[in-house]
């Protein structure tokens, strides 16, 4: 299936060799401008080993397709200031959806990776699946109607989803299937757009790699602490998938000898002590056992209303019990992370997800735990960072996923 940036070129496999070559060159320029921003003709000529007049001809063609814009003059490097060319941010759009266990976000992004719609965020219990999808489709339809772009202006849909997802087929092994149909084919049928689904932790890693703290780093682990704990790994500059795309189930490593029973059936998994779900359970249990905390007031005595965000707010208000909960989570995370540092020797570990908004309260206790469990020389190599992209990281990661896959498909087709 083909859905190219260069669709206007009316590609078929029967194009002559010269056509194919020209389209390959145009495709390179479009990808380069998309990834690197405004660039001059001489720079492109140098990069591609093509003559300046050839580049000029390609740029004129791409401007004719409305994919590239002339952006005025850049800085002079001696002599005349060169004209800069950039991708037309509003030539095409990407639909991005971030499905969490309890929260769904969606937005439409342009080719400068900026949201052109309001980002819709709402709470829903993903386990109640048919209703969840009706709601997603309703809200997405409204969003698309309000933008009133034609469907062929959209390049594709990117979806970040928790659970096991087969990297190659997009098949999901979470509860999210509609009448046994894969989510991917359901979206493709409904919107007639290429749809790509990625595991949330790997989408997060991609977001950090393209837009966040993992930019220009080769070996980074991105830990996603939401209801569960997942991990996206960047190894030698590439997102590591494992054999089937299931790598990074960090939440189920054992950190407590004979600890609490986990949803996976084993005891003492990291998720039982450091995930969002664990934090909520520990908060409720502590309060019932008589711990004093502002949490009680914050939820007007209704302990079922304690969410991760409530605990984080209490932490930032200096509540000793909430801080103790986060410190304990940080301690066990540090114990788990120590193992990762010994195995991967990464340059950075990025902590993201809802629990990461506790910022230094969490990071400080992770550091203390690392002091205890990590070989000093290895620890010195690894920076522990809280994600700066916060709640947007997976939406941005899903946009990057769509663009990467489309560029890959384009290259395969033109090869």
Interface with Zn ion (CB under 5 A): 252, 262, 264, 266, 269
Nearer to Zn ion among residue 270 and residue 362 (C-beta): 270
Q: Over the range 25-57, which residues count as b (16 or more CB within 10 Å of their CB) and which as e?
A: bbbbbbbbbbeeebbbbebbbeeeebeeeebbe
CA 24 – CA 27 distance, rounded (Å): 5
CA 184 – CA 182 distance, rounded (Å): 5
Nearer to Zn ion among residue 208 and residue 249 (C-beta): 249
CB 254 to Zn ion: min, Å: 8
Residue 263: CB partners within 8 Å, gap ≥ 6? 271
CB 238 to Zn ion: min, Å: 27
CB 210 to Zn ion: min, Å: 31
CB 240 to Zn ion: min, Å: 21
Nearer to Zn ion among residue 126 and residue 262 (C-beta): 262
Distance (Å) of CA 171 to CA 100, 176, 245, 250, 269: 17, 10, 10, 21, 26
CB 333 to Zn ion: min, Å: 15
Nearer to Zn ion among residue 270 and residue 396 (C-beta): 270
Nearer to Zn ion among residue 15 and residue 263 (C-beta): 263
Residue 342: CB partners within 8 Å, gap ≥ 6? 374, 375, 378
Identify the CA nearest to 281 among candidates 307, 258, 299, 301. Answer: 307
Instruction: Report yes or no: 339 and 379 within 8 Å, Cβ to Cβ.
Output: no
CB 269 to Zn ion: min, Å: 3
Nearer to Zn ion among residue 268 and residue 352 (C-beta): 268
């Amino acid at each position: 299936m083909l859905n190219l940036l260069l669709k206007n070129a009316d590609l078929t496999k029967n194009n002559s060799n010269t056509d194919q070559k020209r389209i390959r060159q145009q495709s390179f320029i479009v990808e380069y401008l998309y990834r690197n921003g405004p660039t001059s003709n001489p720079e492109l000529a140098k990069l591609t080993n093509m003559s300046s007049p050839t580049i000029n001809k390609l740029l004129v063609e791409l401007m004719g397709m409305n994919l590239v814009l002339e952006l005025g003059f850049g800085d002079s490097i001696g002599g005349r200031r060169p004209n800069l060319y950039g991708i037309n941010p509003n030539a095409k759009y990407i639909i991005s959806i971030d499905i969490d266990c309890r929260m769904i976000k969606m937005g439409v992004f342009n080719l400068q990776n900026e949201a052109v719609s309001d980002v819709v965020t709402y709470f829903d219990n993903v386990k109640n699946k048919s209703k969840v999808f009706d709601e997603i489709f309703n809200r997405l339809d409204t969003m698309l109607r309000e933008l009133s772009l034609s469907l062929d202006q959209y390049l594709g849909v990117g979806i970040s989803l928790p659970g096991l997802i087969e990297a190659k087929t997009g098949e999901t092994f979470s509860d999210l299937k509609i009448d046994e149909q894969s989510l991917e084919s359901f979206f493709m049928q409904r919107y007639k757009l290429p749809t790509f689904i990625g595991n949330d932790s790997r989408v997060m890693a991609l977001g950090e790699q393209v837009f966040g703290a993992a930019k220009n780093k080769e070996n980074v682990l991105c830990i996603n602490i939401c209801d569960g704990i997942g991990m996206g790994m960047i190894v030698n500059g590439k997102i590591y998938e494992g054999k089937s795309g299931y790598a990074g189930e960090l939440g189920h490593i054992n950190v407590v000898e004979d600890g609490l029973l986990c949803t996976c059936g084993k005891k003492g998994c990291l998720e039982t002590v450091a995930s969002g779900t664990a934090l909520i359970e520990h908060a409720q249990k502590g309060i019932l056992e008589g711990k004093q905390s502002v949490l009680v007031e914050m939820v007007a005595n209704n302990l079922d209303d304690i969410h991760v965000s409530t605990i984080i707010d209490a932490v930032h208000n200096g509540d000793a019990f909430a801080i103790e909960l986060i410190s304990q989570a940080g301690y066990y995370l540090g114990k788990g992370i120590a193992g990762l540092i010994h195995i991967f020797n990464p340059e950075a570990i990025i902590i993201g997800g809802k629990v990461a908004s506790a910022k230094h309260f969490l990071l400080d206790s992770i550091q203390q735990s690392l002091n205890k469990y990590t070989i000093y020389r290895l620890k010195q190599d690894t920076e522990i960072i809280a994600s700066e992209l916060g709640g947007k990281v997976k939406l941005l990661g899903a946009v990057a996923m769509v663009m990467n896959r489309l560029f890959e498909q384009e290259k395969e087709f033109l090869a």
